[in-house]
Structure 1
Amino acid sequence: MFTGLIQALGTIHPLGGDRFDISCRPDASHVILQDLAIGDSVAVDGICLTVEEILPQGFVATASDETLRRTTLGQEHRSAPYVNLETSVRVGSKLGGHFVTGHIDGIGCLQESVETPNSWELSFTAPVSLRDLWQHQIARYIVPKGSVAVNGVSLTIADCDPQGSWFKVAVIPHSYAQTNLSYLQIGSWVNLEGDILGKYVERLLGHQVPSSNHQEEISPTFLAEHGYL
């Protein structure tokens, strides 16, 4: 489990097949490597990878076929020179972002980047030619003021269309400068993960049991009345 608060930037190099060498930038390598152990989980551009070998400036990890299919790791060209890195959250740690699992739902595409006096406004869509099923896997979790992880960065959705196939986020200068969002170009691909809380609510609503005289049916109206929507 992660929080979506990026700790460092790094670089990633294929070692052949499904193995990757992830190296930390020297200015922040201690944050990631100080107590890293074999078997630990690290979010690499939002992708949960398991540490298999520790190197002087990074680590080696293997990506499954499913991970390669769903994420930018499986694409021929990467979108940014650096990847976002975050180690897994510890029990008792502060949760400053939102619950991020590191299980990517699909690939999105940067459509617009606008600098404002107080933030950067980034707009994303998903290229249908790359992920035809994306709208079925991520769009339904895109809601105004909801949470989304873009390349592992915890962000709040500022605006979106009714279908959720397009959304906008406002990124504060600190987050923009400390993550690889500042290196994205128009057309860059990014990893997207919807809010896990929305997924559990959807699952719960899809497996309702018949209500009795003593049990109120769980519905969108019920959740809204109790502060969940």
Structure 2
Amino acid sequence: MFTGLIENLGVIDSFESDRFTLSVLNTSTTSILSTASVGDSIAVDGVCLTVESFTDNSFTVTVSPETLQRTTLSEKIKTTNYVNLESSLCVGSKLGGHFVTGHVDGIGSLVNYISTNKAWEMTFAAPSSKIQEWSNFIEPYLITKGSIAVNGISLTIAECDVSGNWFKVSVIPHTYAYTNLHYLRPGDLVNIEGDILGKYVEKFLSSTLKSTKDRQSNINSDFLAEQGYQ
């Protein structure tokens, strides 16, 4: 479990079969590896991965085929794009963002970004090749003022259309400067995870509605006629 508050930036140094080695950049006064242990979880652009080995400034993880297919990590292999890094939440830690599981729901694409006096407004939508995935796994959890994780960053949805085809976030200067958001350009892909609390609510309501629909009342016109009601 994570909070969506990025601690460091990193870059993928090497990829062999299903193993990634990443370097942690000195973008903060504290490195996430300063307290790391083998077996710890680290979110890499919002993807929960397990540390298998590490040095003072790098660590190695294994990435499953499902994760490569469902996230942008396979694209990162081909470039030197920076990735956001966050260590897992500990009991007693501050929860400054929202609950982020590190289980990415799908991929989005940056449509545009606009600089305002105090923030950056960034709009995301489904890439043309991921429209069905977006509709199934992202759109149901888009709600104005709701939480969403973009590349592992806890953000608040400022605006979204009724159909859930796109959403806009307002990014403060600190978040923009200390994450990989400031490297994004229109068309670039990002990992997206909906709010876990919204998923549980949606599951509960859909199950309740289905259960109610399945329970058919015995009181119908035939029953009333049998009881003498005409």
Query: What range describes the TM-score normalised by the shorter chain of this pair?
Result: 0.7 to 0.9
Matched, 1:202 2:195: no
Matched, 1:114 2:114: yes
Deviation at 1:16, TM superposition (A): 1.4
Q: Which residue of 1 aligns with 2:45?
A: 45
Whether contact under 8 Å (2:12, 2:77) holds in the other structure is no
Matched, 1:85 2:88: no
Q: Which stretch of the first structure deviates more once superposed, 156-165 or 74-83?
A: 74-83
Find the aligned partners of 2:157 and 2:190 in 1 and give their Cα distance: 15
Equivalent residue letter for 2:207: H
Matched, 1:163 2:173: no
Q: Which residue of 2 aligns with 1:20?
A: 20
Deviation at 1:147, TM superposition (A): 0.5
Find the aligned partners of 1:75 and 1:81 in 2 and give their Cα distance: 9
Find the aligned partners of 1:140 and 1:157 in 2 and give their Cα distance: 13
Structure 1 80/188 Cα, relative in aligned 2: closer, same or farther at 3 Å? Answer: farther
Question: Of the two, which has the highest radius of gyration?
Answer: 2
Deviation at 1:56, TM superposition (A): 2.9
Structure 1 79/146 Cα, relative in aligned 2: closer, same or farther at 3 Å? Answer: farther
TM-score by length of 2: 0.86
Structure 1 80/144 Cα, relative in aligned 2: closer, same or farther at 3 Å? Answer: farther
Structure 1 44/7 Cα, relative in aligned 2: closer, same or farther at 3 Å? Answer: same
Equivalent residue letter for 2:113: S
Structure 1 76/86 Cα, relative in aligned 2: closer, same or farther at 3 Å? Answer: closer
Whether contact under 8 Å (2:114, 2:121) holds in the other structure is yes
Find the aligned partners of 1:27 and 1:176 in 2 and give their Cα distance: 13
Deviation at 1:29, TM superposition (A): 7.6
Whether contact under 8 Å (2:8, 2:26) holds in the other structure is no
Aligned pair count reads: 211
Deviation at 1:17, TM superposition (A): 1.6
Find the aligned partners of 1:10 and 1:56 in 2 and give their Cα distance: 13
Aligned-residue RMSD, C-alpha: 1.8
Q: Which residue of 2 aligns with 1:135?
A: 135
TM-score by length of 1: 0.87
Q: Which runs of 5+ in 2 are unaligned?
A: 213-230
Structure 1 7/76 Cα, relative in aligned 2: closer, same or farther at 3 Å? Answer: closer
Q: Which stretch of the first structure deviates more once superposed, 60-69 or 23-32?
A: 23-32
SS of residue in 2 equivalent to 1:192 = strand
* Per-residue Cα deviation, 1:180-208 (whole angstroms, up to 9, x for no partner): 00010111100000000000001111222
Q: Which residue of 1 aligns with 2:56?
A: 56
Paired-residue identity, %:
55
Q: Which runs of 5+ in 1 are unaligned?
A: 211-229
SS of residue in 2 equivalent to 1:99 = coil
